[in-house]
Structure 1
Amino acid sequence: MNKLQVKGNWNVAKGRLKQKWGQLTDDDLDYAEGAEEELVGRIQKRTGESREAVERAIDDASRD
């Protein structure tokens, strides 16, 4: 997978996560790009969701 494909997959995943949790901002997702632990923490903080629910949603969002 080349760099452009990875970036495209991340953009799809970001869109899906924002659909699920509308309160997330581009800054939240851009800040955490490439750092899943930080992304999970930011989403938990914003949404109050459990870690497991957030990780499951990220996995679902990153699938084609």
Structure 2
Amino acid sequence: MNWDIIEGKWNQLKGSVKEKWGDFTDDELTEVAGKKDKLAGKLQEKYGWTKEKADEQINSFFKDKV
């Protein structure tokens, strides 16, 4: 998965991310700015997931988006 593409499309993808993981605020999504490590960290904070689980969820969600 090419994260450069996701970063470039982040403003378009933020709505989908918020639908999937509704606990995110707009400010948090702006802070993430399409960075995979930041998104994984926020998912770990909000949902108590391990890094591996967060990465798995991210990869599964974004594989159809780009």
How does the TM-score come out when normalised to structure 1? Answer: 0.62
Q: What does 1:21-40 correspond to in 2, within 5 Å? A: 21-40=21-40
RMSD: 2.2
Q: Segments of 4+ in structure 1 off by > 2 A?
A: 14-22
Residue 30 of structure 1 and its aligned partner are, at CA, apart by 2.1
Identity percentage of aligned residues: 35
Aligned length: 57
2:56 paired with 1:59: no
- What residue identity is the alignment partner of 2:31? Y
Q: Which runs of 5+ in 2 are unaligned?
A: none
Q: Offset at 1:21?
A: 3.0
- Letter aligned with residue 30 of structure 1: T
Q: CA deviation at 1:62?
A: 0.7
